[in-house]
Structure 1
Amino acid sequence: MKTSVQIGYVMGIPIRLHISFLLILPIFATVFSIAPEPFGYENVEPPLQYILGFTTAILLFTSVVLHELGHSYFAKKFGVKISNITLHLFGGVSSMEEIPRDPGEEGKMAFAGPLVSFIIGGTLLLLNFGLSSVLPEFTESYPYRIFFIIGTINIVLGIFNLIPAFPMDGGRILRSWFARRMSYIRATQRAASVGKFFAVFMGLIGLLINPWLILIAFFIYIGASQEAQSTTVSVTLEKYTVKDIMTTDVETVNPSMSIQELLDFMFEKKHMGYPVMEGNNLKGVVSFTDVRKVMPEERSAMRVSDIMTKDIISTTSDTNASEAFKLISRNNVGRLLVIDNGELKGIVSRTDLIRTLRFMEEEAS
């Protein structure tokens, strides 16, 4: 199921709307419409009341996109590829292939988002102050209220994102500070610990003040844990190439094999996925997930060629093992075929990579 829709490009970056954003947008529009001034339009007659509320909500999320574009500008400047920017329930997320390892680069990239929010907020509030000083009646106009609302929220957004709760912007700035003084893995773990502390603290405050803070705290805590784990995996695997980890004695299956025969073969060999070969020609790849889609009574009649995946995700033997792990995670597959110059050389699985990590952990302990 498609969970997001693309609405355009900015700086060559696809901008997407997640389904959760489409649910939260009317809520924000309604809140702005019924809230008392100066943060809402309670005293405005319908339908203008709701038009202003919807406009303010759109401008708010436009500010969020600009915040993310601030991160993305520096990320692209430092050679990081941005897959997309997605607006969802809790704001916006820039999907980056990786975070710059250089502490200075990461610090600048992390601070760029809050800086954009401060610039937007400061400009709108100064504009309000200047116009209301020259034209006192301006304070009674709708533009004044819109500028005030969006300006104030951007200032709050910038401050909130600078809280050192990893993996928020402030947490990434904190990691860049730690990374100047210790290894990158240790810096990440330190920043993640601080982030978890703030998440717990925020959750406790949420119990007393606002339940939304509990939900935000939950996502910060999970995000900090996942980021620490992901960084540990990436940095550790960078010491190896796919050739060091892959299995070279690869079991293959024929496209004419029945699904039942394939299932028996899987049970015997204890592997969950296999390249499909016809002679020396690679035709595709088939996994237990593909088999499960076939009804038991149809497995004797159907062939591997009927269910195999022809869109093969592969790598080369000299690829860094960390990049192979990212490729597996990004495509949500269990294994990669290792192909050099059109020839199948081996297979590397998620299990192979995790096993290597565990060996490294044992050696380090």
Structure 2
Amino acid sequence: MRNFHVGTITGIPIRLNITFLIFLPVLAWLISRPAQLTAYAGFVAGISPHEVDIALLQTGNTPTVIGIVAALGLFVGVLLHELGHSWTARRYDITITSITLWIFGGMAHMENLPEDWNVEFYVALAGPAMSLLVAAACYGLLFVVPAQPVVVFVIGWLAVINLTLAIFNMIPAFPMDGGRVLRALLARSRPYAEATQTAASVGKGMAILLAVVAVLAFAPILLLVAMFVYVAAGAESRATVMRDLLADMTARDLMSTDVRTVTPETTVAEFLDRVVTERTVAYPVMEKGTVTGLVTLNTVRNVDPAKRDSTTVADVMGPAPPSVDPDADAFEAMQALGESRSDRVIVVEDGRFIGEITSEGFMRAIEVLQGIGSHRGRDIEAPDGYA
């Protein structure tokens, strides 16, 4: 889904996902509802040195103002939470490529995921620690800000919600920080992939528990979070197993060099003849050693049969697939393949095309690796969907 770049903080690009832009007004509306204002006012009154006049908070447009400011404040807290992860990761020489805010909070994208248990432990804890600092700062502000009901309510609400954010994130379930803390602790005495699978199983159990609570409490948003946690736990397990299977391998190890290509001048009629005789439905378009596009059977399907002899693949081809360096990590190649709109990535060395990795070829490689066990000499359980 589309992301919008909105700026940088300490050199880290900050992006807003479209789901964030959609969810923000919904969140503001939820906060401004009378029942929610009443419930939160009780919490704020319990920690504030000032009285909270709930009747005043519910007059005129005040609920709308509170909802908008509080929702924006929450996502500022989420951004600081992710910056806590990012700044700590930088101390361990981990590059942060971006931070994205979306419907479920935030994501700090790391160029290399830490596999040392102590590094992951401290990076994971840094987010909740930052949320606790934000909560403490907001609590302290309650004693110095004017006794204006809206100001007191919003700052008190942010203190409560950031404390809640810190606690909720410590639930031992991926992608929450608690799941990563659990994996880090398990990885002290067992292989990283095995620790991930155990932590993922615990996370799925927690997701089921959250779903039960959500149903009993009639909380649709919590149910949505539970579903996301369950799916994310499985995805984390699969990604880690793939990374372990592909350890020490490069794109060169996975690529095929026996690649059928066409030139830009190839006519659609000639292309279709090759599709029939070679039983291949997608061809990189090669010009002077460089891939300039990709032509597939679907690409030419709508070309008028009467014009197939005069239409070239250059007229109808799609963009070139993403490229990777032959010495790139195999897991990076897999990620590029997953992000590609086609079913392949091309391997380019010194600007020249030398091979390709297709989804079909990649899956065959995974089947072989699973069949013989990890090339590092230990057995790895097949992840869901790859057995």
1:152 equivalent in alignment to 2:165? no
Superposed, which structure 2 residues align to 1:309-320 within 5 Å? 309=318, 311=320, 313-320=322-329
Contact 1:139 1:145 in 2 (8 A): no
In structure 2, relative to structure 1, the CA distance for the partners of 1:19 and 1:299 (3 Å cut) is: farther
Superposed, which structure 2 residues align to 1:178-327 within 5 Å? 178-209=186-217, 210-278=219-287, 280-288=288-296, 291=299, 294-295=302-303, 297=305, 300=308, 301-309=310-318, 311=320, 313-327=322-336
SS at match of 2:334: helix
**Which runs of no fewer than 5 residues in structure 2 stay unpaired?**
42-53, 374-378, 380-387
Worse-superposed segment, 148-157 or 18-27? 18-27
1:169 equivalent in alignment to 2:177? yes
Contact 1:120 1:151 in 2 (8 A): yes
Shift of 1:350: 2.6
Partner of 1:340: 349
SS at match of 1:39: helix
Superposed, which structure 2 residues align to 1:3-14 within 5 Å? 3-14=2-13
Worse-superposed segment, 258-267 or 346-355? 258-267
Alpha-carbon distance in structure 2 between the residues aligned to 1:200 and 1:287: 45
In structure 2, relative to structure 1, the CA distance for the partners of 1:319 and 1:330 (3 Å cut) is: same
Worse-superposed segment, 24-33 or 246-255? 24-33
In structure 2, relative to structure 1, the CA distance for the partners of 1:343 and 1:87 (3 Å cut) is: closer
Alpha-carbon distance in structure 2 between the residues aligned to 1:12 and 1:193: 36
Superposed, which structure 2 residues align to 1:21-170 within 5 Å? 21-35=20-34, 36-37=37-38, 39=40, 43-44=56-57, 45-128=59-142, 130-131=143-144, 141-170=149-178
SS at match of 1:356: helix
In structure 2, relative to structure 1, the CA distance for the partners of 1:299 and 1:54 (3 Å cut) is: farther
Partner of 1:356: 365
SS at match of 2:338: helix
Alpha-carbon distance in structure 1 between the residues aligned to 2:351 and 2:130: 47
Shift of 1:67: 0.9
1:330 equivalent in alignment to 2:339? yes
Contact 1:290 1:307 in 2 (8 A): no
Shift of 1:299: 6.5
Alpha-carbon distance in structure 2 between the residues aligned to 1:296 and 1:94: 48
In structure 2, relative to structure 1, the CA distance for the partners of 1:19 and 1:247 (3 Å cut) is: closer
The two structures, once aligned, show a CA RMSD in angstroms of 2.6
Worse-superposed segment, 65-74 or 4-13? 4-13
Counterpart amino acid of residue 274 in structure 2: F
Counterpart amino acid of residue 56 in structure 2: N
TM normalised by structure 2 equals 0.83
Counterpart amino acid of residue 155 in structure 2: F
Q: Percent identity?
A: 33
Worse-superposed segment, 293-302 or 192-201? 293-302
TM normalised by structure 1 equals 0.88
Contact 1:124 1:150 in 2 (8 A): yes
**Which runs of no fewer than 5 residues in structure 1 stay unpaired?**
133-137
Partner of 1:135: none
Could you give the per-residue CA deviations for residues 44-64 of structure 1, whole angstroms, max 9, x where no partner exists?
A: 332344223211211111111
